[in-house]
Amino acid sequence: MPILITDPTDERLRDFVGLTDVKLRRVLEPAGGLYLAESEKVIRRALAAGHRPRALLMGERWLTDLADVVEQAEADGVPVYTGSAEVIEGITGYNLHRGALASMHRPPTRPLAEVLDGARRVLVIEDVVDHTNVGAIFRSAAALGTDAVLVTPQCADPLYRRAIRVSMGTVFQVPWTRIERWPSGIEQLREAGFTVAALALADNAITLDELAAQAPERLALVLGTEGDGLARRTLGRVDVTVTIPMAGGVDSLNVAAAGAVAAWELRVR
């Protein structure tokens, strides 16, 4: 039977405590080998991807909606905790609107060669620090046929709770990894047969339409950080710089929106 929790300070719930404390999550998740999946859909997608739960925490109604997940967790010896909305809010630090949380074992980082194997369209996220944008990029990648996503060393963690939630769990279905050397890693992409394009404003940029009209067989598109865009050292290494033609006096889009537009236009037809 699920374990009824009445004390928000119960030590068994350490994985779920203080979710509003960003510093705690950044320290605990990578070092502790865990991440948090929130909502029924996200939890199911994580499990479908083969990820293993450490513990589950949910409101009482979700014990029914996730009955099969609860049954399997208990069969595997994974604790399932439940409690009132007030107690759960005391644990997590906020109102759990989606009713269910899973503490999941963080999977090992995939080798770059494995992620790139067979891929024709790749998005590279350079130093994007906003977890909402990272999650939105992954959701667009999944929806618009991108084969893989790479994140640079300074990019926000795709397995951070907010990134997972915004992506609707698509971070579990799109192959991705962290490219350890950047921008020198561009050479690795080129050696793997990719043309590397940068999405940026530049005098020598071609339009997205022009790139799509003669799109290479394998293409990696680099998206830059929210404030300053792509680093100069990155722009100096790529094969081509591309820009999205715009109207209305607007010269740029949010990085997630720009990534979605480009992914659609450059999709393999």
**Residue-level pLDDT at 24:** 57
Give the pLDDT of residue 136: 97
Summarize pLDDT for 86-100 with one digit per residue, the tens.
888 887 776 665 689
Over the stretch 184-237, which tens digit does the pLDDT of each residue have? 999 999 999 999 999 998 889 999 999 999 999 999 999 998 778 899 999 999
**What percentage of the chain reaches a pLDDT higher than 70?**
93
Q: Which long-range contacts does 11-18 make (Cβ < 8 Å, 24+ apart)?
A: 12/55, 12/79, 12/81, 13/55, 13/57, 13/81, 13/91, 15/54, 15/55, 15/103, 16/55, 16/57, 16/91, 16/92, 16/101, 16/103, 17/91, 17/92, 17/93, 18/92, 18/93
Contact in structure between 164 and 142 (CB atoms under 8 Å): no
Asked if residue 246 has pLDDT above 60, the reply is yes
Q: Are strands 34-38 and 100-105 parallel, antiparallel or unpaired?
A: antiparallel
